[in-house]
Chains A and B, each alone.
Chain A
Amino acid sequence: MPKCGGSGLKSLFSLAFASAWNRRATLGLMAVSIALSVMLLLGVEQLRTQARESFSQSISGTDLVVGARTSPIQLMLYAVFRLGDATHNIRWASFQAMAAHPAVAWAVPISLGDSHRDFAVIGTTSAYFKYFRYGDRRLLAFAAGKPFTDIFDAVIGADVAAQLGYQVGDSIVLNHGAKGLGLTEHADKPFKVSGILKRTGLPVDRSVHVSLEGIEAIHLDWQGGAPMPGVSIPAEYVRKFDLAPKEITAALIGLKSRAGVFQMQRFINQYKGEPLLAVLPGVALDELWSIVGIVEKSLLAISALVVAVGLSGLVAVVLAGLGERRRELAILRSVGAGPRVVFLLLAIEGLMVVVAGALLGVLGLAVLSLFAAPVLEARLGISLAVGMLSAEAWQLLLLVMAIGFLVSLVPGYRAYRLSLSDGLTPRL
């Protein structure tokens, strides 16, 4: 670049700024569109990171998840996410053996298979509310009521309460079978809502929790998945029967010391009584995420495309404006601006719009997440860190600016060619 009056680059920037300011309406719109695309990109990146974090913390403080022998992912899907069905159950005796193991601090049984409307019913013990942790080792909290104490008590998740409009004291009827399929009802033995849990953003929100005895009670007069013809045991009399569970679906286990986790896992996997599987939830969740991860990657790719659209729009606008600026470029040439100065002028102008757009996008995202954070937390259980961009997000932002600078070279180059061919007399 030729030396320009001692203040070369500064002078060039002030020229570029004056020129951009002159067309602030058009370029401002471009900056806004880039800002929106940057907001989308960074927002998706932010959400994706947070979602991943929330996902990997769907269950925490539990050292082992145990079920009948199957694939670890399937076990996680039905035991933690209430997706799909278990092919086999665990004998109650096996659970008791595990719970009695000296390394085990606590064990929570889980019995699945029934549903209420579209929501899964899980049979468990009150230990569930004492030991099940998620997120940053948070316990389940009650929005209203208390854990179940009676056989026919039920504790419902936040979504169940919200969607069906239930309150503590309401009566509900469970269905036999998985969600949606529940055609047969346990209508003779209704449950009473004893408590409503606070929202967690987990499958817990969409679950109805009852005691294992409750599960046994509604199946007393059932056999092979259907009511026994001619047999009907009224709710008043179930207490006279042995309601000790015979089978459960899965178990959550906490150890006295994490150091013994592999030893305990081996103990369960090699359990003599029946084939069992124990998985470390963290490992299995990571494995699961790698499947879910395709979605997040596609989302990121789509938002990257949106940024590309924004940047090409900028190039189009600057290029389109170039035609009417040929005279101006000729004037600059006449006062000593070389084609390279003209090139830089246009490139800097584009870069300024990109940088302004990117910063505006970051600002916009910060403001948006300030408002969106409480909603996301409440609705999805995703905690959004406001104002803080992750290292990956900063990298993305820098990448956007670098690409923005590269595409700004296109109008710069076009202006360079024009000023070479036009010289002092633009052919208009």
Chain B
Amino acid sequence: MSPFVIDIQNLVFQWPGKHGFRLSIPQFLVRRGERVFLQGASGSGKSTLLSLLGGVLQPQPCHLRVLDTDLTTLTSSARDRFRVDHVGFLFQQFNLVPYLSVLENVLLPCRFSQRRRRQALESATSLEQSADRLLGQLGLDATLARQPVTALSVGQQQRVAAARALIGHPELIIADEPTSALDAGRQAEFLDLLLSRCDDENVTLIFVSHDQRLGSHFSRTVDLNELCETTAL
């Protein structure tokens, strides 16, 4: 087993179309259990990199391994499968499906992945219990679980989204500006909760933000501009 959760060598991705730009990453290695802070504004190829890591986009033939899986050889449906089995995603805002309850939102990955479902049930008697426990650990009252997500504050919504990313023990969490919609006090609180969860569950975390101040919470900071080259055509 490779010590790297993410192992990228000489990756090149070319967006199709007239206005498509090219992104190249000479090398990017992330060790198991690392907390990486990826710093960069939008337009620095952030979205493209995250989509490549999540297997939504497929690069030109290169070395792209995530969790010892060569993503370049998988079919698109196998990549969809891989994504939900092994990666939890956390977005900036509006992270939740509006027509599902808090609980249903948290359990979404278990709908699409046997593996996540099985792992969620390993330490709990039911999926609901597993979700309730995660929500509790993230500081959310159990009474919120059955409410519609629209009744929640932005901060609460982000915690629900974190619970969804964490449910069923994925090995990797990719968080894309999850704190940018929160005020400074709540940012720190949310970050502490997320990091302690990742520590407890021994999950590798890639955290993307333009906000340099947050970098101090992480074991390693990577500047996106140095990591990858983007060329507009």
Distance between B39 CB and nearest chain A CB, rounded to angstroms: 18
List, in ascending order, chain B residues with CB within 8 A of A22's CB.
Answer: 98-99
The size bracket of the interface on A is 20 to 34
Contacting pair B96 A331 (CB below 8 A): yes
A6 to B110, CA, bound (A): 9
Contacting pair A335 B51 (CB below 8 A): no
A337 to B55, CA, bound (A): 12
List, in ascending order, chain A residues with CB within 8 A of B76's CB.
Answer: 338-339
Within A159-176, the residues touching B (CB, 8 Å) are none
Within B48-65, the residues touching A (CB, 8 Å) are 50-51, 54, 56-57
Contacting pair B97 A328 (CB below 8 A): yes
Contacting pair A5 B117 (CB below 8 A): yes
List, in ascending order, chain A residues with CB within 8 A of B57's CB.
Answer: 423
Which of the residues B50, B111, B176 comes within 8 Å of A335, measured between beta carbons? B111
Determine whether A425 belongs to the interface, using a CB cutoff of 8 Å to chain B.
yes
Distance between B35 CB and nearest chain A CB, rounded to angstroms: 20
Determine whether A334 belongs to the interface, using a CB cutoff of 8 Å to chain B.
yes
* CB-CB nearest in chain B for A18: B99
List, in ascending order, chain A residues with CB within 8 A of B83's CB.
Answer: 334, 336
Contacting pair A425 B47 (CB below 8 A): yes
A332 to B50, CA, bound (A): 16
The size bracket of the interface on B is 20 to 34
With A5-B110, A5-B111, A11-B111 as given contacts, are A334 and B54 in contact (CB-CB < 8 Å)? yes
Which of the residues A331, A340, A424, A425 comes within 8 Å of B77, measured between beta carbons? A340
Which of B1-9, B87-95, B186-194 lies at the interface? B87-95
A2 to B80, CA, bound (A): 8
Determine whether A189 belongs to the interface, using a CB cutoff of 8 Å to chain B.
no
List, in ascending order, chain A residues with CB within 8 A of B109's CB.
Answer: 335-336
A341 to B112, CA, bound (A): 10
List, in ascending order, chain A residues with CB within 8 A of B96's CB.
Answer: 331
A2 to B114, CA, bound (A): 11
A330 to B92, CA, bound (A): 12
| Majority SS at the chain B contact face | helix
Distance between B214 CB and nearest chain A CB, rounded to angstroms: 20
Q: Among the interface residues A5, A330, A332, which one has the most CB atoms of the partner chain B within 10 A?
A: A5
List, in ascending order, chain A residues with CB within 8 A of B54's CB.
Answer: 334, 423-424
Mark each residue of chain A from 405 to 426: 1 if its CB lies under 8 Å from any CB of chain B, else 0.
Answer: 0000000000000000001110
List, in ascending order, chain A residues with CB within 8 A of B50's CB.
Answer: 424-425
* CB-CB nearest in chain A for B81: A2
* CB-CB nearest in chain A for B112: A336
Contacting pair A21 B99 (CB below 8 A): yes
List, in ascending order, chain A residues with CB within 8 A of B114's CB.
Answer: 3, 5-6
Contacting pair B176 A425 (CB below 8 A): yes
A336 to B164, CA, bound (A): 13
With A4-B112, A22-B98, A424-B51 as given contacts, are A336 and B56 in contact (CB-CB < 8 Å)? no
* CB-CB nearest in chain B for A428: B94
Mark each residue of chain A from 320 to 338: 1 if its CB lies under 8 Å from any CB of chain B, else 0.
Answer: 0000000110111111111
Contacting pair A338 B80 (CB below 8 A): yes
Contacting pair B97 A4 (CB below 8 A): no
A68 to B50, CA, bound (A): 92
With A5-B110, A331-B91 as given contacts, are A336 and B80 in contact (CB-CB < 8 Å)? yes
* CB-CB nearest in chain B for A339: B76
List, in ascending order, chain B residues with CB within 8 A of A395's CB.
Answer: none
Determine whether A70 belongs to the interface, using a CB cutoff of 8 Å to chain B.
no
Within A26-47, the residues touching B (CB, 8 Å) are none
* CB-CB nearest in chain A for B89: A334
Determine whether A19 belongs to the interface, using a CB cutoff of 8 Å to chain B.
yes
Contacting pair B98 A328 (CB below 8 A): yes
Contacting pair B113 A327 (CB below 8 A): no
Contacting pair A333 B56 (CB below 8 A): yes
Distance between B46 CB and nearest chain A CB, rounded to angstroms: 9
Distance between B76 CB and nearest chain A CB, rounded to angstroms: 7
List, in ascending order, chain B residues with CB within 8 A of A333's CB.
Answer: 56, 80
* CB-CB nearest in chain A for B167: A335
Determine whether B100 belongs to the interface, using a CB cutoff of 8 Å to chain A.
yes
Determine whether B154 belongs to the interface, using a CB cutoff of 8 Å to chain A.
no
Determine whether B171 belongs to the interface, using a CB cutoff of 8 Å to chain A.
no
List, in ascending order, chain A residues with CB within 8 A of B97's CB.
Answer: 328, 331-332
Which of the residues B80, B85, B89, B164 comes within 8 Å of A337, measured between beta carbons? B80
List, in ascending order, chain A residues with CB within 8 A of B51's CB.
Answer: 423-425
Contacting pair A4 B111 (CB below 8 A): yes
Distance between B166 CB and nearest chain A CB, rounded to angstroms: 12
Contacting pair A335 B108 (CB below 8 A): yes
Within B94-146, the residues touching A (CB, 8 Å) are 94-100, 104, 108-114, 117
List, in ascending order, chain B residues with CB within 8 A of A3's CB.
Answer: 81, 114
Determine whether B84 belongs to the interface, using a CB cutoff of 8 Å to chain A.
yes
* CB-CB nearest in chain B for A6: B114
Distance between B160 CB and nearest chain A CB, rounded to angstroms: 12
Which of the residues A5, A23, A328, A423 comes within 8 Å of B56, measured between beta carbons? A423
Within A290-337, the residues touching B (CB, 8 Å) are 327-328, 330-337
A337 to B95, CA, bound (A): 15
A335 to B88, CA, bound (A): 8
Within B164-217, the residues touching A (CB, 8 Å) are 164, 176
A18 to B89, CA, bound (A): 22
A residues near B (Cβ < 8 Å) are 2-7, 11, 15, 18-19, 21-23, 327-328, 330-341, 423-425
Nearest first, the 8 A-B pairs at minimum CB distance are A336-B84, A22-B99, A336-B112, A423-B56, A334-B89, A338-B80, A425-B47, A423-B51
A to B CB contacts below 8 Å, 18 in the list: A2-B77, A2-B81, A5-B111, A5-B113, A7-B111, A15-B111, A18-B99, A19-B99, A22-B98, A327-B94, A331-B91, A331-B95, A331-B96, A336-B83, A336-B113, A338-B77, A423-B56, A425-B176
Known: A11-B112, A15-B111, A423-B57. 20 other contacts (CB 8 A): A2-B112, A4-B112, A11-B111, A15-B100, A18-B100, A18-B104, A19-B99, A22-B99, A327-B94, A331-B108, A332-B97, A333-B56, A334-B54, A334-B83, A335-B164, A337-B112, A339-B76, A424-B54, A424-B176, A425-B51
